[in-house]
Amino acid sequence: MEFTPIERAPGAFQRTVTAEEIRAMARRAFGAGVRVRSAVELGPGSYNSAYRVDVGAERAVILRVAPEPARQFRIERQWMRNEYAGVPYFAVIAPLLPRTLAADFTHAVIGRDYLFQTLLDGVPAPEGLRACPRAEWAPFFQGLGTIARDIHTVRGDRFGPMAGPGFATWGEAVVATLRDTAADLDDVGLDASDVREVAAAAVRHRALLDEITEPRLLHGDLWTANVMMAGGAPVPAITGVFDCDRASWGDPEADWTIFVAGRTRPEQRRAFRETYGPPASTPEAERRALFYQAQHLGAVRLERHRLGRTDDIPASYDEMRDVISRLRTAF
């Protein structure tokens, strides 16, 4: 078996598995007779470890291995199981999703969750977009808008992550996420007082959050990094969507996609909105958006810590100060 892992610095969050572990996982998934010819670790993901594995089938498959349970933050616990539970609800974009071939959450082979999926067609969108003149990117972002809009039409019966915990009200779900984020920041030695202040404000203004009464499907991480596109096509077209592990039920305006769309270049934001639709513009929606921004900024702070991007962490505090200032003014 030819094995090509990614070389990482000591102490890096992602930990590769061994060639023998890959063989054992493949035997568990496809039978004792399977022959693993090669495995190549893929980048640039920052959470699960992913491998392109040749098992002698018509085409290679993807192996994704979750971090050890003890290394997962509260706000990202059991994300792989969360994605597995949520896949049926993404039927609206089923042709774009990888198919799950096998999943093993028993920890009998290794002490981590893992699953095998089909390999999506195309090239990673960041790579494909770099090969296109920026003036030709509009169809890609219009496609993102269409996909996000379709996902957000799916209705649920509770709020919160796909695999739980579930919440009867949206306010409960938002407060729980903010409190878990603060606790995670405490665990890694980062100041969480600003996140706690937002959580306290969310408790005081639960009635505003609870105006959202119909849970909708949220992807949680839909943007360029988790999309495949046709390589060499005259128009940049999306061919696949992956990494739905952050999926949850909530207010569409709280989805990561909406947060990032509001921060991207104006021409890309316009293209996205052409198909997704205009942003919510009521005073109530604008106030709720401040809580959503705080949720995302807290998660970004944790991710920057995990990736060792210490120079970028202070910016999250600057942005959070602005959110808190606007919250105080809004109420």
Sign of CA dihedral 30, 36, 38, 44: positive
Helices (H) and strands (E) in the chain, counts: 11, 12
pLDDT at residue 232, as a whole number: 80
Structure-token match 């569409």, residue found: 252
Domain 123-330 in CATH 3.90.1200.10? The answer is yes
CA distances in angstroms from 65 to 122, 237, 278, listed in the order given: 22, 28, 38
As a whole number of angstroms, the distance between CA 72 and CA 69 comes to: 5
Residue 191 has pLDDT above 80, yes or no: yes
pLDDT at residue 91, as a whole number: 97
As a whole number of angstroms, the distance between CA 224 and CA 239 comes to: 12
pLDDT at residue 86, as a whole number: 96
CA distances in angstroms from 237 to 98, 144, 149, 164, 265, listed in the order given: 17, 10, 17, 34, 19
Q: Indicate the domain borders of the chain.
A: 2-118, 123-330
State the average pLDDT for the chain: 95
Binned at pLDDT 50, 70 and 90, residue 12 comes out as: confident
Residue 2 has pLDDT above 90, yes or no: yes
pLDDT digits (tens, 9 = 90+) for 17-43: 999 999 999 999 999 999 999 999 998
- CATH number corresponding to 2-118: 3.30.200.20
pLDDT at residue 268, as a whole number: 97
CA distances in angstroms from 78 to 120, 161, 254, 305, listed in the order given: 23, 10, 21, 20
Specify the DSSP class assigned to residue 86.
H
